[in-house]
Structure 1
């Protein structure tokens, strides 16, 4: 089988300087990538717009076939792509395997999306045929993050292509291969016609140019709430439709009737999986007072037992944080929390990019690591005594992405979930989960509502037209 060689594929118009892609576990240079500038965005968009018209005119079955082949290639080249995820993004192998599995399903679900009905017949006050028709928006701009680079790029790229659009993708520069160039190589091998997918690695400048280019009507952005606000402001001035998947500070509620062993496993996974660098990470553990002390003690023991290290060379539970800046941010939040009265029950230290799984108690609404998204392996634990208190604590704050509730009474869990505004809720599971066919999105500062998965993809990447057909031209007063 011929390797994909994703690090050697690049869009034809990229002309900027080369930069090093660094392995976060070792600071070693993995490869060199050419960066894009604003002029490269302009050229890529023009070529993509020209290619898109014939792509949209192709039979839907042709587009679906390309997406199915892309999914098959992800399976066939799984070992190669998993290694890139491990080395470039600091994923442990299990996380890389999970990400690849979801990415594969994104391709297959997008293939099915291509051949779904494109509209419906409407009633009309006049004797005519009236119907709706979904049409591609044209060129979709995708700005993707570092934490799950393959799937968080592909979940916009795949449905946008399947629905007849062209795509200009700007991956995070730290994961330019697994979040960008790998997709270019993948779709080239799958038979996607030239110029329908451009990959433009680089810093903020190419992203800003995507936001202002008049030939990019839709932007799909995944990243921090702070950056998302800036994206929305710029795109809004240019009247672009913008789909924002932003940060989270999701709560896991452990009720008084919970199976504590199961709750602890769920809680540890929800916070420490991929070093906490997931938007759905369990950022707040709300535990009934009857379980609180035991939960804290046992969660701290679990944290202390986890192995942190290089996921490419050693068998570990947690890998490195993505870079020194992220390590500094996480540690500053922990130190500020301790200064505000929090108590470290486990962790709170790091060796370079390797941050120990951390458990904090003595937290309240003003504790930085409790009130803010940490994006690191930090578990603040807080007790409650009544369902009303649990609902109020979980609903407090500006975020609204995911929610987990652990209880032996699933109906009680559902009733509680209905009182807490989030885009995602899991009864008897932790807060992290992703399936290609499920609607995904948050409320509040976690994003602008559901925009990925199933019908949401069609809403995100097409325009809905109203069309009428009369047998004859009707008479009008003038």
Structure 2
């Protein structure tokens, strides 16, 4: 590993990235949620800053798109190499800024570098089709870059959920303006800027600017931005979709979920418990794919709920930088207050609190709620916290009805020893992601990722879907001589 710093005091002194590191008038402190300490400063952009970045990106994009495939492809392995060179420092930034435990931070960096690596092959892939046509005429369908892609990324998997859009968008010849979440600008923005800067990406092709709502609105309305790729809450996604569509931009929305993990009566109890704990408590439940409902067959829910409560009570909670813990802090007080409110409302409505529910600073103890019914807050709301919501069912038909009883449609999972039964049940679920004998939190990078209903607008990102998302079709015909039309 290198002895030089990946991010220096200069990078963290209140700047934005526009191909270089530029100081701006507005500066915000970056706070470590586990301790409340300030760990750096980032520049905050406004609508005018977005406009300038979008114009500069559009200018730079033309040269980038015209570059030889070899030249574009060469950038990506260098970015991957930089990620491995500065592995420890990047992992610590993810831990400190987003509250991730080390295992989650390392997994996120692994996914992010894989996304860069896969994107690096895209300049060499087929970029169109030869269509049927008459003799003497060639008919082509070509994929062309959109121009400038605006990426608005969230706080929970800040590096990966930005990188999965930034890397393929760049690979096919677009420029990118990335607006990371203000709470995770360093690990979700500046890390990406540094990786591609060190890899030799031409200046101006990538801009990273933190900002609040006005910056996001400007990104959605700017004439130089061809597309918005947004990952975040459903409420914010609706506003982004409305604003961007009004300006006739292509829009990709990856939104929230109320995902069901269905435990059938024949499931291996120990494996089902491990799947449930991982799907519910990973990264404090702050994942759009988290198991928001654990549907458990009535015949086994007594044992299942008691053993899950034991497991929850045994999971260590604390500052990720202090040692081996399973859960870190929630991202901020607002998110903690929301999760605690859902717990308290549900208990008042009749749910049984078997474990957790207590807080210390931004730490929420792993929680288990049993006897949850469709009338309760925990059944309906996306908690985005470490809360297991246990709902009983008696038949496969009832499990399907409960799982589909939501406006969301992101991820679902079924655990059973009878794979054919699990598949038959799973095929009736309204979801974009389905896992048999696994839990709900899954992404291999190579797969199309997207939800239905309130979980997205029908687009997918990842793997083969990236060509559809970050390019547009152009139809082109070629004849040796012009035809003699009748007039």
State if a TM-score over 0.5 links the two structures.
Answer: yes
* 2:34 paired residue number: 25
Matched, 1:77 2:86: yes
Give the structure 1 partner of residue 359 of structure 2.
350
Aligned-pair distance for 1:8?
3.7
Matched positions, count: 478
CA distances 1:431-460 after superposition (whole Å, capped 9, x unpaired): 001111111111110012342111211111
Residue by residue over 1:350-378, the C-alpha shift from the partner in whole angstroms, topping out at 9 and shown as x without a partner, is 11100011111121112111111110001
Is 1:103–1:154's contact at 8 Å kept on the other side of the alignment? yes
Query: Could you say which residue in structure 2 is the equivalent of 1:464?
Result: 473
Query: Is the 8 Å Cα contact of residues 358 and 365 (structure 2) preserved in structure 1?
Result: yes
The residue number in structure 2 matching 1:120 is 129
Aligned counterparts of 2:298 and 2:402: Cα–Cα separation in 1: 14
Match of 1:11 in 2: 17
Q: What is the distance in 2 between the residues matched to 1:106 and 1:251?
A: 27
The equivalent position to 1:409 in structure 2, one of 418, 430, 453, is 418
> Which residue in the other structure is 2:338 paired with?
329
Q: Is residue 452 from structure 1 mapped to residue 479 from structure 2 by the alignment?
A: no
Please state how far the C-alpha of 1:195 moved relative to its aligned partner.
Answer: 0.4
- Counterpart among 223, 228, 233 of residue 232 in structure 2: 223
- Alpha-carbon separation, structure 2, partners of 1:336 and 1:7: 45
SS at match of 1:280: coil
1:440 corresponds in structure 2 to 449
Matched, 1:202 2:214: no
Equivalent in the alignment of 1:36: 45
- 1:250–1:50: structure 2 CA closer, same or farther, 3 Å change rule? same
Q: Where in structure 2 are the equivalents of 1:215-254 lying within 5 Å?
A: 215-254=224-263
Deviation at 1:16, TM superposition (A): 3.5
Q: Pick from 392, 397, 400: which aligns with 2:406?
A: 397
Alpha-carbon separation, structure 2, partners of 1:54 and 1:102: 29
Deviates most, 448-457 or 77-86: 448-457
Q: Where does the alignment leave 5 or more consecutive residues of structure 2 unmatched?
A: none
* TM-score of the aligned structures, taking structure 1 as reference length: 0.98
Distance 1:357 1:400 in 2: 25
Unmatched runs of 5 consecutive residues or more in structure 1: none
TM-aligned CA distance change 1:6 to 1:253, over 3 Å:
farther
SS in 2 for 1:396: coil
**Alignment of 1:380 onto 2:389:** yes
Change (3 A) 1:14 1:366: farther
Residues 439 and 452 in structure 1, CA contact (< 8 A), matched pair in contact too: yes
Q: 2:195 aligns to what?
A: 186
Instruction: Pick which of 145-154 and 56-65 moved more.
Output: 56-65
Structure 2 residue 190 is the aligned partner of structure 1 residue 168: no
CA drift of 1:278 comes to 0.3
* 1:359-370 pair list within 5 angstroms: 359-370=368-379
Instruction: Give the secondary-structure state (helix, strand or coil) at the position aligned to 1:195.
Output: coil
2:315 is the alignment partner of 1:315? no
Shift of residue 6 of structure 1?
6.3
Of 57-66 and 215-224, deviating more is 57-66
User: Retained in 1: the 8 A contact 2:371–2:392?
Assistant: no
Residues 145-183 of structure 1 show CA distances to partners (whole Å, capped at 9, x for unaligned) of 000111011000000000000000000001010000111
3-state SS of 2:155 partner: coil
C-alpha contact (below 8 Å) 1:14/1:36 kept by paired residues: no
Q: Quote the offset at 1:423 in angstroms.
A: 0.6
Runs of 4+ in 1 over 3 A off after TM superposition: 6-10
Range moving further from structure 2, 13-22 or 405-414: 13-22
1:278 to 280, 284, 287: 287
Output the CA distance in 2 between the equivalents of 1:357 and 1:275: 8
Aligned to 1:137: 146
Secondary structure class of the residue paired with 1:290: coil
Question: For each residue in 1:325-355, what CA deviation from the matched residue of structure 2 results, as whole angstroms up to 9, or x when unmatched?
Answer: 1101111111111122111111111111000
Superposition deviation, residue 14 in structure 1:
5.8
